[in-house]
Amino acid sequence: MPVSVDQTSVDPSRNESAPANTSASADTAAQAPAGKKDEALRPHAEDAFAAELAALAAQDDRPRPARWRMSPWAVATYLLGGTLPDGTVITPKYVGPRRIVEVAVTTLATDRALLLLGVPGTAKTWVSEHLAAAVSGDSTLLVQGTAGTPEEAIRYGWNYAQLLAHGPSRDALVPSPVMRAMSEGMTARVEELTRIPADVQDTLITILSEKTLPIPELGQEVQAVRGFNLIATANDRDRGVNDLSSALRRRFNTVVLPLPESADAEVDIVSRRVDQMGRSLDLPTAPDGIDEIRRVVTVFRELRDGVTADGRTKLKSPSGTLSTAEAISVVTNGLALAAHFGDGVLRPSDVAAGILGAVVRDPAADRVIWQEYLEAVVRERDGWKDFYRACREVSA
Amino acid sequence: MSGFLPEAAAPESTHVADSRGGHSDGPLLLGVRHHGPGSARAVRAALQAARPRVVLVEGPPEADALIALAADEGMQPPVALLAHVVDQPGRSAFWPLAEFSPEWVAIRWALEHDVPARFIDLPATHTLVWGREDEAPDASATPSGPEDAAQAPGESSPDEALRIDPLAVLAETAGYDDPERWWEDVIEHRGVQDGEAFGPFAVLAEAMGALREAYGSGGHDRDLVREAYMRLQVRTAQREFGDDVAVVCGAWHVPALRRKATVAADRALLRGLPKAKVAMTWVPWTHRRLSRISGYGAGIDSPGWYGHLFSAPDRPIERWMTKVAGLLRDEDRIISSAHVIEAVRLADTLAAMRGRPLPGLTETTDAVRAVMCEGSDVPLTLVHDRLVVGDVLGEVPASAPAVPLQRDLARLQRRLRLKPEALERELELDLRKENDAERSRLLHRLRLLGIEWGAPAESRGSTGTFREAWRLRWEPELAVRVAEAGVWGTTVLAAATAKAEADAVAARALADVTALAERCLLAELPDALPVVMRILADRAALDADVGHLAQALPALVRSLRYGDVRGTGTHALAEVAVGLAERVFVGLPPACAALDAEAAEEMRGHVDAVHGAVGLLGEVATAAVPAGEADGARAAGTRSGIRARWHSVLRTLATRDTIPGVIRGRAVRLLLDDGELAQDEAARLMGLVLSPGTAPGDAAAWIEGFVGGGSGGGMLLVHDERLLGLVDAWLTGVPADAFTDVLPLLRRTFSAYEPGVRRTLGELVRRGPGVRGNAAPTSAPPGFDPELDTERADAVLPVLHLLLGLDEPTATDDNDLVGVS
């Protein structure tokens, strides 16, 4: 009897799962929050793209795995975008190699779990949400992994009032999202798997290999029905936090989500996001900012890839991730500097300090790498004189 | 993929005739994709079923005499037929054959069944000289499709864009975006069903027929000539053997061979072709060269995978995954059988999802990445290198005719009058003579190829850069080495170039690449140099150890100078050297911090080496740049800036406290010698170090760095009494217990001086500080005037100018004179 379980850690899960527990059918559960849907800051994928999902499901004549809302092929189309025979346009949710989406969807169609790896800002969570929405029509069976995630979040907890009043029974049990997904044949999601403590991670092993979840307190078990699967996301750079044991890793097919392939695509992503963020922070838009954005993206890409854009010169890569997300924050920062302390135009000096901060994470090794880059690449490049000078100023 | 061999050998000939789809009146035409394992299986099955009395294969007929060698035990594919013009070994073409090439299968089948096999393509006599007109040496170099790819010796012809890729058209019609994939799905992955051994060929021939109707020769104009020749050959064979003739050729040619054309018309096409005397032989080939990456481009990028498909008796995917697992296990990755199972399942499901009949290489690779490699591309590269491409090296029996490299070497030996002799002898070369310079180049190139005919020896007489001494000795094994080196190319120059490039790619340490660069210059391999330089730059960029970089720099600058002497183009070399120097500059200060005595001593050596190299580099680089070019002028500016930047690095070294004394002292000294540091400033720095606050050990190290070694530091002390005074004052102030610690260092510093210098120093010290203190400006050795007699001194100047070739005294001269006073 897990009576000694920390009360506070159980509380949230009980509150959260209470409506689902009482509602008999999925329909009523879906209707309950319907009124608030429009006001939600960010609607779930299955709500935001309900029309597309319906159109895809309606016109999908390929074989579907058990309990899937549509065929794997249609799921891939949902993520990558396309035009249906009747002219419905499916917007692309993920811009990247087709191969990745195909492997991910195919993995879900086998009984292997899917592990999405990638540096921060590569749309891991986004892809996992949309996969779950397309496959199961529900992306909310979610476990948020943190250093404090307890076993109950993955297995089950107890409703203590029930437990004390009526003794241990299925009614007193508070199922976790994973347990619900198992019994209903849905897709469960685990965010930031590597942040979960190793002993809690191990709970997943039996679930993924035996597809059962024993409840020793009741002498019962929950067996996963067909259609159950699990998508986990984890951060490449956090491997050291709680590395997956090889036993657990073996249960996953791993898909690494890459950083944007071409510089143009990345510039596009950065400028679009910067624009959105700038508006919400009431920053003035910089007219000539695009050149500076391109420069930031170029610097980031070159250092990240360890080779110059023309492919001629190799470089050392610093220890930071230099993801697209960081490029976005450097530019936003630069815009704020330009708006409040400069002449409103994004200048090399506005981004130089930000870049330095993003690149030099380890003061000794990274600084040498950065200076080598400055001297070997930036100094010689046409039209980069200002930038070189600005960087020299902040690096000195 | 199953059950195609013995079953397909249907004994009833009526059935065979029927399945030939109405073509029983003509020869059996088997259109294939070169290097297609599926095609190879199909060819074998078809031959087995039809049992022809002669097998005709697309290929140069000069090789007919060599066909028998294919059955030799010493013959292991991959091998290639090599044709070259007799007196011009550089003019050559290859026809690579792998175990899974349909042509190879057909030849082997013929040999096993005692059936004559013949090559029927246009003779290499013509094709080799054809290319001379427009530098597309092999007419059969059709575009990237599998068509004829076997015969493309690597150069893509300029008019390629105008040609159509027949497969791409077919694939596009079928809704595929990748022609290779379409071919794999439709032809290669299709098993041969019982009794329809000719089915695939008939279908393909029909498709190609439609294509040829629509596109004609598709821009491959030379194909028409080749096909005319092939038709004539087929006709000859038919006269001899009736209709029991099987032809194995690229599927593209099938409709043309079936076409009825008059003998006269075909002959007319063949009239007036250029001719050359051609020799042929078998050479060993490698999977890597079959693959597209290596530039020889026989046309497939996954020979290992194809070889597997061809040799696996059944369940190719399962067997492949097991192979991959074995490889990864050997590399210490934990791969269980469960991984293999899951990988196979994922590959199957992926294939189903992508609508392919069987998992292809793409699906298997995706599955391996997701299941066995944890999504990482690093182990995947290994799989690609070892399995997908594979490290298979072919073998050729010793009885095969000599490789052209041997002939080229013999030709060179004759021309340079350098006979191979078993007796050891010394050879002195004067590189200013054209013949000797070429001999030197030949010997250097042979050494690069691992043919150690000559070993460099110490020159006896003079040590000038223009002299080179060799010890020559031709051992019988060297002939074997030459044969082995034949894979690298057909001439000594080409082979050495290819070998140097391969060596550069394989080299691990930076110093190896630098050494290679030096050898490339000596052997004069201008084509290899860019590759070596690129790799050198890459290695330098990734090498984090400043010591390595500093070691590499002097050698590089040396070769730069040497290249200059020989008049080789060294622009690229200078570029790399400058880049390397920049990296050293950036990395040196942090690398010098916090070193122990031994490491500091080593680092001091590096600082000295870099200093010397930078001095040379500034000179050489500015001289090498052609004047007047805007770009050149900028580069010159960069390079003259190099000394300035080095000086600023030295200044950093001189003033940073965390840097060991010996390096700091050295840096100050180098700056002082270059006139970058005023003597007052040097004295100030010395005073700082020798002040009581500094540990005596560190101060002694500084002194060693400043005036130690054979750097003429003694003279400096003799002439600058202020410095000597500082040393003297410090030394007398060292406490007794610390003195024993610094003594060894000081002894090492001062014992290296010349006896005369030591004596003078001793005398100066004996005179005592007091005298020197007051009389410093006027002190003079006895018998000399305290002041300079300027008039008499000026009298020397004209002679000095004459000697030094100067027009007027420069600033540095003045400095020196001041220093002397």
Report residue B591's pLDDT band, with 50, 70 and 90 as the boundaries: confident
Q: Are residues A376 and B583, on separate chains, in Cβ contact within 8 Å?
A: yes
Q: Are residues A368 and B590, on separate chains, in Cβ contact within 8 Å?
A: yes
Nearest to B719 by CA among B676, B653, B650, B673: B673
What pLDDT sits at residue A281?
A: 66
Report residue A213's pLDDT band, with 50, 70 and 90 as the boundaries: very high
What pLDDT sits at residue B620?
A: 59
Q: Is A24 exposed, middle or buried (0-12, 13-18, 19+ CB in 10 A)?
A: exposed
What pLDDT sits at residue B781?
A: 53
- pLDDT tens digits for range B234-290: 888 888 888 888 898 888 888 888 887 788 888 888 887 888 888 888 877 777 777
Identify the residue among B366, B376, B533 best suited for mutation to test binding to A, counting A beta carbons within 10 A and taking the highest: B366
What pLDDT sits at residue A12?
A: 40
SS3 of A99-142: the string is HHHHHHHHHHHCCCEEEEEECCCCCHHHHHHHHHHHHHCCCCCE
- Whether B532 and B520 have beta carbons less than 8 Å apart is answered as yes
Q: Are residues B366 and A306, on separate chains, in Cβ contact within 8 Å?
A: no
Q: What is the number of other CB atoms lying within 10 angstroms of the CB of residue B629?
A: 11
Q: Are residues B339 and A250, on separate chains, in Cβ contact within 8 Å?
A: yes
Identify the residue among A62, A244, A253, A372 best suited for mutation to test binding to B, counting B beta carbons within 10 A and taking the highest: A253
Chain B: closest CA distance from residue A254 (Å): 5
Q: Look up residue B459 and give its DSSP letter.
A: -
Q: Are residues A250 and B338, on separate chains, in Cβ contact within 8 Å?
A: yes
Task: State percent of chain A over pLDDT 70.
Answer: 85
Candidates A107, A115, A313; nearest CB to B346: A107
Task: For residue A244, list chain B residues with Cβ-Cβ distance below 8 A.
Answer: none
Which has more pLDDT, B274 or A15?
A: B274
Taking residues B30-51, report their average pLDDT: 84
Nearest chain B residue (CA) to A380? B638
Pairing of strands B425-430, B79-85: unpaired
Looking at every residue in chain A, the average pLDDT score rounds to 81
Amino acid of residue A264: D
- Whether B535 and B578 have beta carbons less than 8 Å apart is answered as no
Identify the residue among B328, B344, B350, B649 best suited for mutation to test binding to A, counting A beta carbons within 10 A and taking the highest: B350
Q: Are residues A102 and B537, on separate chains, in Cβ contact within 8 Å?
A: no
Q: Are residues A106 and B342, on separate chains, in Cβ contact within 8 Å?
A: no
Q: Are residues A106 and B353, on separate chains, in Cβ contact within 8 Å?
A: yes
SS3 of B474-496: the string is CCCHHHHHHHHHHHHCCCHHHHH
Of A277-291, B17-31, B57-71, B255-269, least confident by mean pLDDT is B17-31
**Is residue A335 pLDDT above 80, yes or no?**
yes
Q: What is the number of other CB atoms lying within 10 angstroms of the CB of residue B613?
A: 25
Which has more pLDDT, A142 or B21?
A: A142
Report residue A286's pLDDT band, with 50, 70 and 90 as the boundaries: low
**Is residue B362 pLDDT above 60, yes or no?**
yes
What pLDDT sits at residue B218?
A: 63
- pLDDT tens digits for range B383-423: 888 888 887 777 777 777 777 788 788 888 888 888 877 77
Chain A: closest CA distance from residue B576 (Å): 10
Nearest chain B residue (CA) to A75? B353
Report residue A130's pLDDT band, with 50, 70 and 90 as the boundaries: very high
Report residue B18's pLDDT band, with 50, 70 and 90 as the boundaries: very low
Dihedral, CA atoms, A357, A358, A361, A365, nearest 10 degrees? Answer: -90
Chain B: closest CA distance from residue A106 (Å): 6
Of A94-98, A133-137, B221-225, B560-564, least confident by mean pLDDT is B560-564
- H/E stretch holding B46 reads helix B37-50
What pLDDT sits at residue B476?
A: 67
- H/E stretch holding B248 reads strand B245-250
What pLDDT sits at residue B184?
A: 72
Exposure of A259 in the CB half-sphere (CA atoms within 13 A): 22
Q: Are residues A316 and B542, on separate chains, in Cβ contact within 8 Å?
A: yes
Residues in a beta bridge with A83: A89
- pLDDT tens digits for range B641-657: 788 888 888 888 888 87
- pLDDT tens digits for range B80-135: 888 877 777 667 777 888 888 888 999 999 999 988 888 888 888 887 777 554 43
Taking residues B41-50, report their average pLDDT: 86
Task: State percent of chain B over pLDDT 90.
Answer: 3
Taking residues B19-46, report their average pLDDT: 73
- pLDDT tens digits for range B747-789: 877 777 778 888 888 888 877 655 444 444 444 555 566 677 7
Chain B: closest CA distance from residue A310 (Å): 13
Amino acid of residue B323: K
Q: Are residues B582 and A372, on separate chains, in Cβ contact within 8 Å?
A: yes
Residue B596 token pair: 């122990």
What pLDDT sits at residue B296?
A: 36
Q: Are residues A110 and B345, on separate chains, in Cβ contact within 8 Å?
A: yes
- pLDDT tens digits for range B440-461: 888 888 888 888 888 887 766 5
Q: Is B594 on the interface with A (CB under 8 A)?
A: no
Candidates B353, B375, B586; nearest CB to A371: B586
Q: Are residues B366 and A107, on separate chains, in Cβ contact within 8 Å?
A: no
Which has more pLDDT, A312 or B566?
A: A312
What pLDDT sits at residue B534?
A: 81
> Helix or strand or coil: residue B76?
strand
- Whether B351 and B358 have beta carbons less than 8 Å apart is answered as yes
Candidates A106, A255, A364; nearest CB to B349: A106
**Is residue A252 pLDDT above 50, yes or no?**
yes
Task: For residue B634, list chain A residues with Cβ-Cβ distance below 8 A.
Answer: none
Contacting residues for B132 by C-beta, under 8 A, at least 6 apart? B91, B274
Q: Are residues A375 and B585, on separate chains, in Cβ contact within 8 Å?
A: yes
Nearest to A14 by CA among A187, A120, A188, A157: A157
Identify the residue among B340, B345, B353 best suited for mutation to test binding to A, counting A beta carbons within 10 A and taking the highest: B353
Task: For residue B590, list chain A residues with Cβ-Cβ distance below 8 A.
Answer: 364, 367-368
pTM over 0.90: no
Q: Are residues B541 and A364, on separate chains, in Cβ contact within 8 Å?
A: no
- Whether B594 and B654 have beta carbons less than 8 Å apart is answered as no
- Tell me, what's the ipTM? 0.70
Of A277-286, A316-325, A356-365, B23-32, least confident by mean pLDDT is A277-286
Chain B: closest CA distance from residue A205 (Å): 14
CA A256/CA A247 separation, integer angstroms: 19
What pLDDT sits at residue A39?
A: 65
What pLDDT sits at residue B195?
A: 54
Task: For residue B375, list chain A residues with Cβ-Cβ distance below 8 A.
Answer: 115, 117, 254-256
- pLDDT tens digits for range B501-528: 888 888 877 878 888 887 887 888 878 8
Q: Are residues A109 and B587, on separate chains, in Cβ contact within 8 Å?
A: no
Contacting residues for A377 by C-beta, under 8 A, at least 6 apart? A302, A308, A313, A315
How far apart, in Å, are the Cα atoms of A140 and each of A64, A188, A193, A326? 22, 8, 16, 28
Q: Look up residue A314 and give its DSSP letter.
A: B
Report residue B144's pLDDT band, with 50, 70 and 90 as the boundaries: very low
Chain B: closest CA distance from residue A30 (Å): 32
Task: For residue B587, list chain A residues with Cβ-Cβ distance below 8 A.
Answer: 368, 372
Looking at every residue in chain B, the average pLDDT score rounds to 75
CA B218/CA B228 separation, integer angstroms: 16
Q: Are residues B353 and A246, on separate chains, in Cβ contact within 8 Å?
A: no
Contacting residues for B10 by C-beta, under 8 A, at least 6 apart? B16, B49, B195, B197
Candidates A246, A253, A306; nearest CB to B371: A253
